[in-house]
Structure 1
């Protein structure tokens, strides 16, 4: 199967999974409205989706390092959708936590293996990996629109309709998996990954991803409430803020992959974190409709590093690609969900502005960590062949063929 077609299918499938990560935060205002949850209780919903995911993703990553498990893609997609679809059917808080936790496990199982499959299908191309990540960002962006369209129409009892993207996503990934299976014994991606692990840089990268996660998850959980306060708008104002936050992430991911074709990944990530410091400060302190501009800037700044950090993690740990993907996409990202209840508790005791102010420090810490990180070499088996080697006679972009 041609690389572009494989990446498109994987990208759409990624969107069908990550719509459920965005759906959890999007459902929070409806849980508050229909069930009178406090800020702390509402943020506990996000915690439930993140907690098991934070532990499970590295576990699934370690398992995929031992043996490829492509069947996880369709199965985990369906599981992620079912959990969210069932979360609105019971007024029981424990059952709601259980269902969103099930969805979190599905999302956890999907990401390490899908990152491995996408890297093979992309042949090490930053742009292709950017488009794969772009699909996930689109899923995030569509989530508040999908949830609002369904739940605002008929209430939480209509939540079973939210399973539709999971069914679509599970079907779309099947042709890619069949193509990879057919080429597994002869294709260039079949070679085993080798190289020297740079554990110190991987630890620094992981800590930077934690900082990014705290900022992003904290904002995604409470930005709807905060935008309504700052603009004096209603539910539509909050939904628009969440949509801008997620849509800006999609733009940031594509921008990041393009910038990485001109400069090295570490430089691109470092500068994006530095710019994001001012953008988050704008969200917290600038009143009125201007908040939407700073939400967009923050989203772009936090998502320029997204796909680049995945490939950096894989290249820092070339002998443990699944584990690197699981930790980067799972454990470190999900820690943001663990911090959300703390933010909620501070907001209940003081104000949302006070609770969100510490988030300004998170991208600053990420920038400091990246200052001492080197640009790793890309594993040779992922580098796209030269024109003479692939028989096409078409020149590949140097940044994608040889650049680390």
Structure 2
């Protein structure tokens, strides 16, 4: 594991996903200052998230044809520029366009960043979990920093938000090549994998990612409302429950990488689903807020345990198409899961929030059953069965590795 490489790419992930988190924080100010309707605000959310997720496999396909590492700083720069311009645009269509451009920048960043993270991490799931955690931290910081900036300066203060990307882009341009490839910045040749892509297994994995995403959106959309309606929590306490879920999820991300390194990626995924069902049931059945918060935290841990592992496993199933695998598991499959969320809303309107969450509660069983159809990727099986040989000579410009 190239520790400096993991640290650098993970920090870049923080800076990039900062702009994903900044968009939701912008929306209340757009409503207040420009009097946008909720439908208009939903359109901006769609531009920032769904369009970005759908575009990620396309960027992954491009990077599979030829790695384009410049997309890491370039995508980040576009993501930052879109957010910075959003507060300056005079009309809604122009605001929508720049928000969409920001989403495309995020989409451009992720596939090659995931490739670089894999290069730095080697076979370490723990290192990839750190990379994934960087995105979670960046999203949280985006919301945390954007609100006080706009309270202080109004919408015309959005250019201030360019600062994190500007600093990180300079660092990436100067250091990314040398840190990943050695002091000369000369990339080592990567041998083609000795196995074919396993598309049937990858498609089943994509189904698992979609199921996890459906559960995730169901919890994050309705848990605060459920606690308010069922347990008479205040809006502040309901919001705090969502924060607890996301913070616990950060711990789950690291735990999932640790578990996968000590057992297997498939075991990490299955453990996450096994824990998720009872944890969500605990939320539904909790009789007071203290107990509910405990199960909210456990749900966050359980649902994030497989999060980083999905990326590594997808790359192992498609060893010849690392970018495509990253784009699908990080972007497209997640957004498809979000499309099911209106169904839960309709169920809640027709019956109750408790019924809607009860449906969410049984979905981990489906995720577990689909995950049981998966087997270890051929890349890893071959690696284990190859005869043991002495370590290869390191290149003269190799960086220090763990």
TM-score range, shorter chain: 0.7 to 0.9
From the superposition, tell whether residues 264 and 341 of structure 1 become closer, same or farther in structure 2 (CA, over 3 Å).
same
Shift of 1:111: 0.9
Alignment of 1:63 with 2:62, yes or no, is yes
1:324 corresponds to which residue? 325
Larger radius of gyration: 2
Shift of 1:133: 1.5
1:389 corresponds to which residue? 391
Alignment of 1:253 with 2:224, yes or no, is no
- Does the 8 Å contact 1:218/1:336 carry over to 2? no
2:132 corresponds to which residue? 133
Q: Higher mean Cα deviation, 348-357 or 19-28?
A: 348-357
2:196 corresponds to which residue? 196
2:275 corresponds to which residue? 275
2:397 corresponds to which residue? none
1:293 corresponds to which residue? 294
2:336 corresponds to which residue? 335
1:208 corresponds to which residue? 208
Describe how 1:92-241 pairs up with structure 2 within 5 A: 93-153=92-152, 156-174=155-173, 175-180=175-180, 187=188, 190-221=190-221, 232-234=233-235, 236-237=236-237, 239-241=239-241
From the superposition, tell whether residues 47 and 296 of structure 1 become closer, same or farther in structure 2 (CA, over 3 Å).
farther
- Does the 8 Å contact 1:17/1:169 carry over to 2? no
Between the aligned partners of 2:90 and 2:74, the Cα distance in structure 1 is: 27
- Does the 8 Å contact 1:86/1:159 carry over to 2? yes
1:83 corresponds to which residue? 82
Q: Higher mean Cα deviation, 191-200 or 365-374?
A: 191-200
Shift of 1:387: 10
1:52 corresponds to which residue? 51
User: Residue by residue, what CA displacement relative to the aligned partner does 1:44-89 show, whole Å, maximum 9, x if unpaired?
Assistant: 4433222222321111111111101000000111212232334445
Between the aligned partners of 1:276 and 1:244, the Cα distance in structure 2 is: 15
1:365 corresponds to which residue? 366
- Does the 8 Å contact 1:140/1:247 carry over to 2? no
- Does the 8 Å contact 1:58/1:326 carry over to 2? yes
- Does the 8 Å contact 1:18/1:136 carry over to 2? yes
Between the aligned partners of 1:345 and 1:42, the Cα distance in structure 2 is: 20
User: Residue by residue, what CA displacement relative to the aligned partner does 1:211-257 show, whole Å, maximum 9, x if unpaired?
Assistant: 122222344455565565555334x4455334333322221111111
- Does the 8 Å contact 2:80/2:162 carry over to 1? yes
- Does the 8 Å contact 2:317/2:379 carry over to 1? no
From the superposition, tell whether residues 103 and 119 of structure 1 become closer, same or farther in structure 2 (CA, over 3 Å).
same
From the superposition, tell whether residues 232 and 370 of structure 1 become closer, same or farther in structure 2 (CA, over 3 Å).
same
- Does the 8 Å contact 2:72/2:112 carry over to 1? yes
From the superposition, tell whether residues 284 and 170 of structure 1 become closer, same or farther in structure 2 (CA, over 3 Å).
farther
Between the aligned partners of 1:101 and 1:294, the Cα distance in structure 2 is: 36
2:304 corresponds to which residue? 303
- Does the 8 Å contact 2:313/2:377 carry over to 1? yes
Between the aligned partners of 1:306 and 1:281, the Cα distance in structure 2 is: 21
Between the aligned partners of 1:36 and 1:292, the Cα distance in structure 2 is: 34
- Does the 8 Å contact 2:14/2:139 carry over to 1? yes
1:396 corresponds to which residue? none
Between the aligned partners of 1:263 and 1:348, the Cα distance in structure 2 is: 43
Shift of 1:98: 3.1
Between the aligned partners of 1:29 and 1:225, the Cα distance in structure 2 is: 19
From the superposition, tell whether residues 255 and 233 of structure 1 become closer, same or farther in structure 2 (CA, over 3 Å).
same
Between the aligned partners of 1:85 and 1:226, the Cα distance in structure 2 is: 35
From the superposition, tell whether residues 221 and 314 of structure 1 become closer, same or farther in structure 2 (CA, over 3 Å).
same
CA RMSD in angstroms, aligned pairs only: 3.5
User: Residue by residue, what CA displacement relative to the aligned partner does 1:21-46 show, whole Å, maximum 9, x if unpaired?
Assistant: 333445556666664744x6655443
2:315 corresponds to which residue? 314
2:398 corresponds to which residue? none
Q: Secondary structure at the match of 1:171?
A: helix
Between the aligned partners of 2:92 and 2:44, the Cα distance in structure 1 is: 9
From the superposition, tell whether residues 218 and 314 of structure 1 become closer, same or farther in structure 2 (CA, over 3 Å).
same
Which sections of structure 2, spanning at least 5 residues, go unmatched?
395-401
User: Residue by residue, what CA displacement relative to the aligned partner does 1:270-300 show, whole Å, maximum 9, x if unpaired?
Assistant: 1211211232344455453544333322222
- Does the 8 Å contact 1:281/1:360 carry over to 2? yes
